Amino acid sequence: MSAEHTEELSEPRASSNLPVSDDGRNSDTTRKETASRDSAPDAERKSPVSEVSMAKIGMQGRLPALDDDADVGVQKEHIVTRDGKADLRFTGVLLASSAPASAPKGHWQEYRIYQTNGAKHVFSKVTRTVFEGQDDAHEAQVFDPSPSSVPSQLMRSAREIAQARPMTWMDAAVAFFGYDPLAKALYRKLSVRFDEQVS
């Protein structure tokens, strides 16, 4: 066996957890360094990769299907969660929902449009994450075609004058969701046209 080959075998491997002293330091110093490294809190020793929720991984694996897809068109009581505001409880139908086909970075959005028995529309946007310790974000807005409060009526009247037509629930949906690809997929599931007519 050659001398070069022997040196290769005797060199420590980078993945070894054993302390290696190559500069002649005494073993007491090495033991202290090893002890301080081993006594570090678990959070410091963990890899930079965050832990994931297995339930959320299951949800991500079913995309673009959502848990409430079977509820589309079904009359029932709904509760729509909102962050920083009271949740919305109403009886009505889920008109459409949309989610992306995949979420490779562990984050995705879910869009939903409901119609209440009182002819109002509820728009919901949920931003999900598979990572533990990170909460999902919930936004929701209600569109009332005939607001009862005077300030709402004044705002609506000013908007109608500026647009030369009354604001519809479809206008409110576009104002809430915009026109990103997921919103366009949501609009295609509805039986109304959201595209712009050009002559």
3-state secondary structure 165-181: CCCCHHHHHHHHHCCCH
Spatial contact of 33 and 23, defined as CB atoms under 8 Å apart: no
Instruction: Name which of 80, 49, 59, 46 is nearest 130 in CA terms.
Output: 59
Q: Is residue 29 part of a domain?
A: no
* 78 closest CA partner among 122, 108, 127, 119: 122
Instruction: Output the CA–CA distances (angstroms, integers) from residue 20 to 16, 23, 132, in the order listed.
Output: 9, 9, 36
Query: Does residue 99 fall inside a structural domain?
Result: yes
User: Which residue shows structure tokens 């409430």?
Assistant: 68
The model carries a pTM of 0.66
The tally of domains found in the chain comes to: 1
Band (pLDDT 50/70/90 cuts) for residue 147 is low
Residue 2 lies in a domain: no
**C-alpha distances in angstroms, 178 versus 1, 77, 117, 137, 199?**
71, 27, 25, 18, 23
pLDDT tens-digit map of 3-31: 444 444 444 434 333 344 444 444 454 44
Going by the DSSP 8-state scheme, the letter that residue 139 receives in this structure is E
Q: What is the pLDDT of residue 153?
A: 58
Domain assignment of residue 100, yes or no? yes
**Structure-block tokens of residue 45:** 């020793």
Give me the amino acid identity at 97: S
- The answer to whether position 17 is within a domain reads no
Residue 191 DSSP label: S
Asked, for residue 175, whether it belongs to a domain, the answer is yes
3 state DSSP class of 192:
coil
Kindly report, residue by residue over 71-128, the tens digit of the pLDDT: 999 999 999 999 999 999 999 999 999 999 998 888 999 999 999 999 999 999 999 9
51-85 b/e (C-beta count within 10 Å ≥ 16 → b): eebeebeebbeeebebeeeebeeeeeebebeeeee
* pLDDT value, residue 152: 59
Measured in whole angstroms, the distance separating CA 175 from the mean position of its chain's CA atoms is: 20
What percent of the chain is predicted at pLDDT more than 90? 43
The tens digit of pLDDT for each residue in 161-170 reads 565 667 889 9
Mean pLDDT of all residues belonging to the chain: 76
Domain that holds residue 183: 54-189
Whether residue 128 is contained in a domain is answered as yes
Of 144, 125, 140, 135, nearest to 89 by C-alpha is 140
